[in-house]
Structure 1
Amino acid sequence: MAKTLAGHAAADVLQNWDVQHIFGMPGDSINNFVDVLRGKKDDIEFIQIRHEEVAALAASSYAKLTGKIGVCMTIGGPGAIHLLNGLYDAKADGAPVLVLAGQVATTELGRDSFQEVHLARMFDDVSVYSETVASAEAFPDMLNQAIRTAYARNGVAVLVIPDDIPRDKINNATSFTSSLTSFARHIPQKEDLITGLNFIENAKRPVILAGTGTKAAKQELEAFADTIGAPIIFTLPAKGVLPDRHPLNLGQLGQIGTKPAYEAMEETDLMIMIGTSFPYRDYLPDDADAIQVDVDPAQIGKRYPVSAGIVGDTALVLEEWNKHLQRRDDRSFLEECQKNMQNWWTHIGKDTEETSTPLKAPQVIPHIERIADDDAVLSVDVGNVTVWMARYFNITNQDFIISSWLATMGCGLPGAIASSLAYPDRQAIAVCGDGGFAMNMQDFVTAVKYKLPIIVVVLNNSRIGMIKYEQEAAGHLEYATELQEIDFAQFAKSCGGEGYHVKTYEDLGPAFDMAKASNKPVIIDVEIDLEPPLPGKITWEQAQGYTKHMMKKFYKDHSVEMPPLKKALKRLF
């Protein structure tokens, strides 16, 4: 039988699974496999990043956006350790990611060799599959199994590859596995559907809380909500399932959410959770019936005492309910929610219409909205910028990706890089705070190197702004949140991209116009004021905590920074 290098056989496996990009950094313990990929560069593009965390975050974003497996590669030891933050993001958000991690040669394993770390053990908590290749013959079969497991369990699969394995010769075929796979649709139980229908038909004020599980059921969700006269509140990672200005959409819930969403949850007599396990119990009803729909039975009743649970594919569940429901005549609750939402748009619209300087974040968001293509990908970082984008950016048909469950800062730029590679014909925009962008800013040069025309908007207040606000809301004095200023526009130019530094309202429009017209990676560095991102609904506890903070600040330095009073009062009552 013909022989081939184990590395070549493994590369064929990657091609069979339609892997087109690998994010990583070459190095001594993975170089034999990197050399194989050099020969496959026309089919599998190796994207050289400047830090392995970016490789993992980009792979995670790639998977969230496309549904296809994201792949990252690293040497053993320090390179593998650097991956962990991005991998935990993939684990938390259920994104299929493959890690190809180098390791010392098999003859050196267990001998305390240079850079030797027990990688399979280290990756055990973050992964759904973590194995070390013990022989060249097993390499392609184990790679098949790793990819299949990542897809099947929506998680991270790690294959640790001793450096001698890829160059050993094996029979020119995988022995025990193939790249063929099949995916099941979970069919709901009839009795569970009937139980849910009974609750729905008897409810007077139903509210839908929709998560990422509804992304593949947009039409079914819209029809269901319209039929039963229920407003829809979307979790943050589900932003964009329906356009933000859709008449059924009340926006998000919680710290980043809208006041109408908060009030609808206060008034509902039936909460219908679809494709979400919303973690913030304080923002859910105190005492209301609840139905939960999820493909994972472990999520049913996990965070709220539900009255009925339906395990099944979201689209199938909604299809069945839509067949048996009559359009509700009494739309009074929905209409009241819609009226509240119109008032909310009017209320926050005043923030975006200001033309003053110093700039505030809400003044910037309409310019992002203006230049964003209808099918653009928005990669949003974590911090105050999350609140600004969730609240003020009106999504139409754009994709919105974020680190939602781990909420790691530094995800915005890697997400834009991944987006531009996955969909080169679509616009990719990263929206970051200065703190989050600085965590991985070195990889802006990666976008320059690969000629990725991404736009990075940095909302720069020289603070870790969200932490400052959290300290104040808890009644503490601000501490260790100031950041040394960086001119990100000059940094962009030094990398070979374009950079625009915006200080005044008059500079906003031209800077965004030039960024839109550019075919290079661009950073728009916008200086903004320190206005806190007030919650859509301010609780008494938050108000009391902030009052405590103001008293401490007064006694310390005889000064007080007041939040916008009219806005705060409107959201308190």
Structure 2
Amino acid sequence: MTNVKRGSQALIQSMINQQVKYVFGIPGAKVDQLFEDLKYSDQPNAPKLIVARHEQNAAFIAAGIGRLTGKPGVVATTSGPGVSNLVTGLMTATAEGDPVIALGGQVPRDDLARYTHQSIPSKELMSVASKSSVEVQDSNNLSEAFTNAYSTAISGKPGASFISLPSDVLSGNVTRPEMQKLQAPEQTQTFAKTLTQIVKMIQNAKLPVILAGMRASSENVTEAFHNLLAKVSLSVVETYQGAGVISHKFENDYFGRVGLFRNQIGDTLLKQSDLVIAIGYDPVEYEARNWNVEHNDQIINIDTVAPELTADYQPDMVIESDIASTLAALTDALPEDYQLSQSAVAQLAKLREEFDGQNDVKTDAKPGTMHPLDIVNTLQTKVDDDTTVTVDIGSHYIWMARHFRIYRPRHLLFSNGMQTLGVSLPWAIAAKLVRPNEKVISVSGDGGFLFSGQELETAVRLKLNIVQLIWNDGYYDMVKFQEQAKYGKIAGVKFGPVDYVKYAESFGAKGLRATNASELAAALDQAQQEDGPVIIDIPVDYSDNIELKSALLPDLLN
């Protein structure tokens, strides 16, 4: 006898087969069958349904799951505006390599061609924000559609997959068996001839430098990367999304991060290098027209995907294969006695002295406020290697990217491809779900925080001990200081005050305020003792933001 299921039940079983643990979303009439079956499933491994307060934030949380685990997070919303509110979240995930599967409710099939309630061309809308976008027309295709969406989301450069689900497809009968767990594909290997050529290029280079990008930050790639550095000492520059690929053991090889403005130690080193080895680098992180203005003598591109070629980025060698296995093979191929020349060592020592002095500058904030570096340095003393720190967009994001250290990959999260406001708190929720026994700290400005601040209720409901720092100055300051530099005046960047301590308390969270380093240190200690989320409001003095654009090239101030 055929085992008949509803479409939504077959979809849930497909999630179970791919080991999906959570579904984040907002309910609605066109997707309520899925929500009902998730809530009342008798399957012990059924994903947990977590209701968010906005579809965009639900997508951000799902993307956070994807970035932290390498496996797609799942978001489900109703039709019409429920789907359209996903666009920013999916666009950000696709640009920044975070695997996500979005399930969008849709009107019944016989209403698709009608101008009716909440009927929009969802599949077409999402085709520009995701790697794949399909609409299921038969309940028996649901499992196949989900499994293919999963495969697409994790393949090549990860990103978002979207599935439009007409309500009658979710409630329709399914007789076809569900797809089983995906098998990991066989990884391609690098040819010995290619490895020999790479070794010669490294040996002949006067100052080889590694540029570690977003796809260098997976656990297996980082392990292979560390094995390489254990054998040969090579200077490393991280992108923002490559943050943490350098561990404590290899700190002497670390020369900072690059992204946004071309005025960092890492930019200087890339400019001086005659061989850049780009590992898992994606141009959306930091375009080559910024760091390769003078066009380096040679570039090797090691990645799982083909690079985007431009006038500023034409690698002399492209290795398109599994990054970890390529690095392992390269480590074996490099001779034991390889070392940099004395002139290169002296050149790096000079840069090292300048780099190590970046945080040792005089800070003089207005009374009742904190200097950005004092906030960063205080926070640095209160984290350990297991702490996950999520960072929103704003002036604080530049200070954090330049000065805050982290020693494990995917423990310091930035939105650098899209620079999307509001990601920090949703990502922190994802981090606390994935890493429940580790500290999670979210860092936002007062502008970006209120893009997703309503998810504080979600964190309270889930009893997640997330510490949310708010750098408070009353402006969209990242825009403000750039306008001041370009025009000598500002426009459209001022907004009114919010009492964030009372805001926290109104949600049932703890609210604290810190106006100096000792108060912030005490607040961070207190926050870790609470059962749920804590907001720490920090009045900040951004007067020294001029330091963020020092030596900035005029054509790059944008």
Do they superpose with TM above 0.5? yes
Match of 1:165 in 2: 169
Matches within 5 A, 1:52-131: 52-131=55-134
- Say yes or no: does 1:27 pair with 2:28: yes
Percent identity over the alignment? 26
Following superposition, the deviation at residue 313 of structure 1 comes to 1.9
Match of 2:352 in 1: 341
* Residue aligned with 1:322, SS: helix
Distance 1:511 1:480, change over 3 A: same
Match of 1:549 in 2: none
CA distance in 2, matches of 1:543, 1:22: 44
Contact 1:23 1:59 in 2 (8 A): yes
Match of 1:570 in 2: none
The one-letter amino acid paired with 1:439 is F
Following superposition, the deviation at residue 463 of structure 1 comes to 1.0
CA distance in 1, matches of 2:267, 2:190: 30
Q: Which moved more, 1:350-359 or 1:254-263?
A: 350-359
Following superposition, the deviation at residue 342 of structure 1 comes to 3.5
Q: 2:289 aligns with which of 263, 281, 300?
A: 281
- Say yes or no: does 1:269 pair with 2:271: no
Deviations 1:60-81 (A, max 9, x none): 1110111111100100101111
Following superposition, the deviation at residue 166 of structure 1 comes to 2.2
Contact 1:208 1:232 in 2 (8 A): yes
Contact 1:275 1:293 in 2 (8 A): yes
Following superposition, the deviation at residue 49 of structure 1 comes to 0.7
Q: Which moved more, 1:329-338 or 1:7-16?
A: 329-338
Matches within 5 A, 1:140-219: 140-153=143-156, 154-171=158-175, 173-174=177-178, 177-215=179-217, 216-219=220-223
The one-letter amino acid paired with 2:39 is R
CA distance in 2, matches of 1:421, 1:492: 21
Following superposition, the deviation at residue 528 of structure 1 comes to 0.5
- Say yes or no: does 1:133 pair with 2:127: no
CA distance in 2, matches of 1:424, 1:191: 46
CA distance in 2, matches of 1:144, 1:214: 26
Contact 1:65 1:401 in 2 (8 A): no
* Residue aligned with 2:301, SS: strand
Q: Which moved more, 1:212-221 or 1:359-368?
A: 212-221
Distance 1:483 1:335, change over 3 A: farther
* Residue aligned with 2:538, SS: strand
Match of 1:306 in 2: 315
Following superposition, the deviation at residue 255 of structure 1 comes to 4.2
Following superposition, the deviation at residue 532 of structure 1 comes to 4.3
Distance 1:170 1:347, change over 3 A: closer
Deviations 1:365-405 (A, max 9, x none): 12322222321111111121211111221213371122221
Match of 1:497 in 2: 509
Distance 1:517 1:196, change over 3 A: same
The one-letter amino acid paired with 2:208 is P
Following superposition, the deviation at residue 433 of structure 1 comes to 0.9
* Residue aligned with 1:514, SS: helix
Deviations 1:510-536 (A, max 9, x none): 222211221210000100012243456
Contact 2:206 2:340 in 1 (8 A): no
Following superposition, the deviation at residue 149 of structure 1 comes to 2.3
Contact 2:132 2:162 in 1 (8 A): yes
Distance 1:545 1:78, change over 3 A: closer
Distance 1:310 1:503, change over 3 A: same
Deviations 1:157-209 (A, max 9, x none): 111111122222232623xx433332232322333333322221111111111
Matches within 5 A, 1:533-552: 533-534=545-546, 538-539=550-551, 541-542=553-554
Match of 2:256 in 1: 251
CA distance in 1, matches of 2:416, 2:552: 26
- How many pairs were matched up? 544
Match of 2:538 in 1: 526
The one-letter amino acid paired with 1:462 is G
The one-letter amino acid paired with 1:286 is E
Where does the alignment leave 5 or more consecutive residues of structure 1 unmatched?
547-573
Following superposition, the deviation at residue 408 of structure 1 comes to 0.4
Match of 1:551 in 2: none
Deviations 1:92-141 (A, max 9, x none): 01221111110111232211110110101111112222111212222223
CA distance in 2, matches of 1:157, 1:277: 20
Q: 2:242 aligns with which of 228, 238, 244?
A: 238
CA distance in 2, matches of 1:237, 1:302: 24
Q: 2:481 aligns with which of 466, 469, 472?
A: 469
Q: Which moved more, 1:528-537 or 1:447-456?
A: 528-537
Match of 1:290 in 2: 299
Following superposition, the deviation at residue 322 of structure 1 comes to 2.1
Distance 1:301 1:325, change over 3 A: farther
The one-letter amino acid paired with 1:143 is F
TM-score by length of 1: 0.89
Q: 1:376 aligns with which of 387, 390, 405?
A: 387
Q: 2:529 aligns with which of 500, 511, 517?
A: 517
Where does the alignment leave 5 or more consecutive residues of structure 2 unmatched?
none
* Residue aligned with 2:357, SS: helix
Distance 1:481 1:359, change over 3 A: same
Contact 2:387 2:439 in 1 (8 A): yes
Contact 2:390 2:425 in 1 (8 A): yes
CA distance in 2, matches of 1:494, 1:484: 19
* Residue aligned with 1:110, SS: coil
The one-letter amino acid paired with 1:17 is Q
The one-letter amino acid paired with 2:422 is G
CA distance in 2, matches of 1:243, 1:293: 21
Q: Which moved more, 1:38-47 or 1:111-120?
A: 38-47
CA distance in 2, matches of 1:136, 1:533: 56
Q: Which moved more, 1:55-64 or 1:292-301?
A: 292-301
Following superposition, the deviation at residue 495 of structure 1 comes to 0.1
Matches within 5 A, 1:217-236: 217-225=221-229, 229-236=233-240
CA distance in 2, matches of 1:355, 1:397: 35
Following superposition, the deviation at residue 544 of structure 1 comes to 12
Contact 2:149 2:161 in 1 (8 A): yes
CA distance in 2, matches of 1:514, 1:65: 27
The one-letter amino acid paired with 1:459 is W
Deviations 1:329-383 (A, max 9, x none): 6254245324432433234223579897531111111232222232111111112
Following superposition, the deviation at residue 283 of structure 1 comes to 2.3
Deviations 1:535-566 (A, max 9, x none): 567336459989xxxxxxxxxxxxxxxxxxxx
The one-letter amino acid paired with 1:168 is G
TM-score by length of 2: 0.91
